[in-house]
């Protein structure tokens, strides 16, 4: 039983270390702790953020919300980031 538990813990630690942040995806520029969210732009989103240069459906964006209860983008915080940030 101890051997089985040791093997499980070893594999868990291995996957935790190797499946962490993707080093090829280092240009996301913030995370949830910084107040940023990431998403792929949809048709509905394009009506709200389409005036930003380079914006198109399927593009990955980093943004903040206007308030905690509102689901509207803070247009001043929107930026286009690498697609891997939305994975």
56-82 pLDDT per residue, tens: 999 999 998 887 666 788 888 899 999
Q: Is residue 70 part of a domain?
A: yes
pLDDT at residue 70, rounded to an integer: 66
Q: Is residue 78 part of a domain?
A: yes
Q: Is residue 3 part of a domain?
A: no
Q: Is residue 39 part of a domain?
A: yes
What are the tens digits of pLDDT across the range 17-52? 334 455 667 778 888 888 889 999 999 888 888 788
Q: Is residue 62 part of a domain?
A: yes
Which range of residues forms the domain containing residue 70? 25-86
Query: How many domains would you assign to the chain?
Result: 1
13 vs 24, residue with greater confidence: 24
End-to-end CA distance of the chain: 37
Alpha helices in the chain (DSSP H): 2-18, 43-49
pTM of the predicted model over 0.75? no
CA-to-CA distance for 69 and 78, rounded, in angstroms? 18
Q: Is residue 77 part of a domain?
A: yes
3-class SS at 57? coil
Q: Is residue 50 part of a domain?
A: yes
Q: Is residue 69 part of a domain?
A: yes
């Amino acid at each position: 039983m101890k051997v089985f538990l040791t093997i499980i813990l070893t594999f868990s630690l291995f996957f935790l270390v190797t499946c962490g942040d993707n080093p090829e995806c280092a240009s996301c520029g913030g995370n949830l702790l910084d107040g940023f969210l990431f998403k792929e732009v949809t048709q509905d989103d394009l009506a709200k953020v389409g005036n930003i240069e380079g914006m198109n459906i399927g593009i990955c964006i980093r943004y903040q919300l206007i308030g905690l209860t509102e689901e509207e983008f803070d247009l001043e915080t929107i930026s286009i980031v690498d697609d891997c940030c939305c994975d």
